Amino acid sequence: MISINLHKRIGGNKTESHFQLSFQSEDIIGITGPSGKGKTTFLKVIAGLVHCEKGEINFHDAVWLDQSSNIFLPPQKRNVGFIFQDYALFPNMTVIQNILFAKTDAFGEKELNKLIECFEIKPLLNQKVNTLSGGQKQRVAISRALVQLPNILLMDEPFSALDFRVKQKVIDYIKVYHQTFKIPLLINTHQIHELSVLTDKIYELNAEKLEVLESKKTAHHTGNVIRIDRQNQLMEVMVNNVHYTLPLKHNIEEGDSIQLSIE
Ligand SMILES: Nc1ncnc2c1ncn2[C@@H]1O[C@H](COP(=O)(O)OP(=O)(O)OP(=O)(O)O)[C@@H](O)[C@H]1O
């Protein structure tokens, strides 16, 4: 069990925001909410990059943070994978140098080749990162975090620069990666439909606290099919103002209502 309980003043706020959640290694957690409420800041506190006013982080049996006992495990000992909004790649290194810098031996060559293939970065491997487009940089940043096999993967708007087709491939890869390595994922995004295809639970950081927005374990709804992508055999379904991207079912047309049970 991973339990996080943090209090921090965000921006110039006088009151502290409260960020509290618990989850298992098998979980993928989504966090959404209005801009500037502190989603990125709280991810940085979990990584140990930013301090908070008050709080505890228990990672299974290890205490990463306990302000009341002056316990603060430094970032390098937490082995956190962080995908930053601005990618934070080494600009003068090539793509493969960036990836190999982070890669752990436990992430084998075969797995690396599969990732390179799936993320479509093979032609870019020997290019300097500062010559890449935003979407290409983002794929490298995700790759670099994945090959690290971190204790937890913190992803800040990880798919924002990817086109629809590549995004589906990356999301599918991450689902399998998560099932294989059982690394918990915390994903910040405004693109809530991206979260819905991946996450077990979605929280919203709003009004200075974190609230459950959706839990897949209880989601059984009627949805409207708002878009069909026949090329990739996907359909976009809207349920209670949340978008889901799902495999296309037979005989479904745009505008249809369908029953959606998500486990
Ligand atoms: N390095 C910094 N120095 C000072 N203030 C900062 C810094 N980074 C962020 N802030 C402030 O902290 C507040 C929260 O920012 P944060 O990036 O955590 O919000 P967010 O919810 O992730 O926003 P977004 O959804 O736009 O990414 C904002 O008011 C921002 O101006």
Q: What is the ipTM of this complex?
A: 0.93
Q: Is the CB of 37 under 6 A from ligand 1?
A: yes
pLDDT digits (tens, 9 = 90+) for 207-235: 788 888 877 654 456 788 999 999 888 88
pLDDT digits (tens, 9 = 90+) for 42-72: 999 999 999 999 999 999 999 999 999 999 9
Determine the distance separating the centroid of ligand 1 and the alpha carbon of 205, expressed in angstroms: 13
Residues β-bridged to residue 115 = none
- Residues constituting the chain: 263
pTM for the complete prediction? 0.81
Q: What is the CATH number of domain 2-218?
A: 3.40.50.300
Cα gap 63→227, rounded to integer Å = 46
Domain ranges, ordered by start, for the chain: 2-218, 220-263
Determine the distance separating the centroid of ligand 1 and the alpha carbon of 54, expressed in angstroms: 18
Six token digits for residue 221: 């709804």
Lowest mean pLDDT among 47-56, 150-159, 214-223, 252-261: 214-223
Atom of ligand 1 nearest to the CA of 190: 25
Atom of ligand 1 nearest to the CA of 41: 18
- In a mutational test of the pocket of ligand 1, which residue from 14, 31, 35, 206 has the highest number of ligand atoms less than 8 Å from its CB? 35
Determine the distance separating the centroid of ligand 1 and the alpha carbon of 182, expressed in angstroms: 30
Determine the distance separating the centroid of ligand 1 and the alpha carbon of 114, expressed in angstroms: 35
